[in-house]
Amino acid sequence: MIILILTISLFILYSILILYYWLSWRSFSDFRGSELFTTTISIIIPARNEENNIGKLLKALEQQSYPKNLFEVIVVDDHSTDRTAEIVQQFPGVRLIRLKNGDINSYKKKAIEEGVAVTKNSFIVTTDADCIPSPHWLSIIASFKQENDSVFIAAPVSYNIQNKNLLAVFQTLDFLVLQGITAVSVQRKLFAMCNGANLGYDKEVFHEVAGFSAIDKIASGDDMLLMQKISKKFPQRVHYLKSKQAIVSTEPASSWKNFFNQRLRWASKARYYNDPKIFFVELLVYLFNLSFLLLLIASAWNYRFLFWLAALWFAKTIIEFPFVYSVASWFNQRSLLKWFFFFQPLHIAYTILVGLLAQFVKYEWKGRKVK
């Protein structure tokens, strides 16, 4: 009886949270933008061993509709051992900086710092070397900043899946949920999530909050931990840009090992969040997923718990579906929803495992072991 009361209580709280996400997402209108541009932009791209991707990104940046005299492109090469730097040098006007050796735990933060140090323009936009932006990406970001007086902008990221195998579909559905939560958390001033593949912030404000100082030893968090620093000083000027023209696409992880390491990296920064609202939301989500494991273990003593386990599986799917459907529709990935119910056990298992291991174990990223 205690197990069932606990599980039902967690489900009710979780349902309220998901309903809040869904209604909030639906309440945000898409930003349309204007064509009056005054913002000067510096795009900073940290890159390590990206010879297969960096050329595609730089070509996409050449095709931007934003006036060429209003933006610059800076690639910071993070000790690549392939042809990344050679490819960058083939693009006239793109500045290449090479990251120096040193006692560094967060190479990406260091790369961004080095890029910011040589920028000429007032607004920093960051993306990853394996991303592709739309042709109007910079235009819509600049227009949004000018209209809203933003000092920090979080923008949407999507997975571009060509081969719809099990791993790619699972990642994409999971990532869609994260994107929806990102939009809601930023717009509702919870500041619980954002993605460094598509961010913008004032260079002056970056220096005003001392950049990555005090978080530079943390391997991850070049995006969210920076947003939290800026939001403390400018909470009303940190915004989410909901616009399909602002979407940056990237490829999902190519293997389960890479996927697991990526999620460990993302989850590892959770213990550094200093906002109690974020802590309690993440604790609720984790405990709710853990309740499935609790029911499974209890079924070893009483088979009736298997019925409650199946009922909770269905209930979780039903309460989440409207939110996931809304976000998937906006990203034009509604066709993947037929797998949503069947992926629930896998999603629950990985949430429990990653949430636990991320606080203790080292993970591998870009050929490095980091903690």
pLDDT at 368: 63
Residue 363 pLDDT class (50, 70, 90 cuts): low
Average pLDDT over residues 19-45: 92
203 neighbors 121 (Cβ within 8 angstroms): yes
Q: Phi and psi dihedrals of 48, rounded to 5?
A: -140, 115
In 10 A of CB 188, how many CB atoms? 16
Residue 325 pLDDT class (50, 70, 90 cuts): very high
Of 369 and 6, the structure prediction assigns the larger pLDDT to 6
* Site of tokens 């606990």: 6
pLDDT at 102: 65
Of 14 and 257, the structure prediction assigns the larger pLDDT to 14
- For residue 150, pLDDT over 70 is answered with yes
229 neighbors 215 (Cβ within 8 angstroms): yes
Q: Does domain 32-156+198-252 correspond to CATH entry 2.60.120.260?
A: no
DSSP state of 211: T
**Residues paired with residue 149 on neighbouring β-strands, in sequence order:** none
- For residue 35, pLDDT over 70 is answered with yes
pLDDT > 70 in the chain, percent: 94
pLDDT > 90 in the chain, percent: 71
Q: In sequence order, what are the residues at sequence separation of 6 or more whose Cβ sits closer than 8 angstroms to the Cβ of residue 169?
A: 161, 336, 339, 343
Cα four-point dihedral sign 296, 297, 303, 304: negative
In 10 A of CB 259, how many CB atoms? 19
- For residue 164, pLDDT over 80 is answered with no
- For residue 219, pLDDT over 80 is answered with no
Distance separating alpha carbons of residues 88 and 74, to the nearest angstrom = 10
* Site of tokens 């005003």: 208
236-249 confidence digits (pLDDT tens): 999 999 999 999 99
